[in-house]
Amino acid sequence: MKKYEFLLFDFDGTLADYDRTESWSLAEAFRQAGLPYNEDICLAEYHRINSQMWKSFEQGGISAPELRLRRFRMLFESCGIQGDPELVAGMYLSSLAESAFLFPGVLPLLEKLRPRYKLGLITNGLKEVQRRRLALSGTDKYMSGIAISDEIGIQKPSVGIFEYALHEAGHTDKSTVLVIGDSLSSDIQGGINFGIDTCWFNPGRKAAAAGIVPMYEITRLDELPGILE
């Protein structure tokens, strides 16, 4: 007997190769702004700053518009780049919206799951960017419920974004929902807060964080069908 009826996926880092999206978009924004781009220095520094900003955003410390701009201000300052961070921040977002690199095997996996499960998506991200990337990647047509934090004003790990996705999908029974995501602090903690089963997608085999215990852990997405049966 199958236990789950509704599979809720995170997007970036789970279905979408966000590292690739990010490095491509960053290079593209610098190119469009006519600024020299040293990938080795800029990308690492951007990662460091961006993850700091996202942590602060997830904790409610800064707003989405602040996050968009502040990460480039800090990057320019830290790398000594002479240019307009606001301009590059805008170009970065437009480039992001045009890049939708999925991990290999994602569409066949969704295709395989679709006849047996209702599928949904919850993502902390900017609505214009995520809507466009979901459409470009072809993942949107598989999803019964899509919840984008910037669109509804609630982000993971808050329970509201999960409630929204279930409502969108017309699904009421929480005991048949499984959330699958690569972030312990947003996807897994969010699933625990909401009271649903959780599956941590951990391709980098990172050590678990103290206090956040997922129900399942997989290192490859194709392990998912195995834990569903």
**Residues with catalytic function:** 10
CB of 12 to Mg ion, least distance (A): 4
What's the sign of the alpha-carbon dihedral 32, 35, 38, 44? negative
Q: Looking at residue 206, what DSSP letter applies? A: P
Tokens for 111?
């295709």
Distance CA 134, CA 143 (A): 10
Q: Which residues bind Mg ion (CB under 5 A)?
A: 10, 12-13, 182-183
Cα Rg of the chain (Å, integer) = 18
**Which residues, in sequence order, are bridge partners of residue 197?**
178
Q: Which residues on neighbouring strands pair with residue 148, listed in sequence order?
A: 123
Nearest residue (CB) to Mg ion, 95 versus 183: 183
d(CA 71, CA 50): 6
Nearer to Mg ion, 15 or 91 (CB): 15
Task: Please give the structure tokens belonging to residue 53.
Answer: 């900003």
Q: Which is nearer to Mg ion, 22 or 182 (CB)?
A: 182
Asked if residue 147 lies in contact with residue 141, where contact means CB atoms within 8 angstroms, the answer is: no
Name the residue number minimizing CB distance to Mg ion: 13
Q: Taking the complex as a whole, how short is the minimal distance between the CB of residue 132 and Mg ion, in angstroms?
A: 18
Q: Based on CB atoms, which residue is closest to Mg ion, 158 or 183?
A: 183
Smallest distance, Mg ion to C-beta of residue 36, A = 31
Residues 198, 22: Cα–Cα separation, whole Å: 26
Q: With contact defined as beta carbons under 8 Å apart, do 136 and 45 qualify? A: no
Minimum CB separation from Mg ion for residue 208, in Å?
Answer: 16
Cβ proximity to Mg ion, 26 vs 121, nearer residue: 121
**Distance in Å, CB of 13 to Mg ion, minimum:** 3
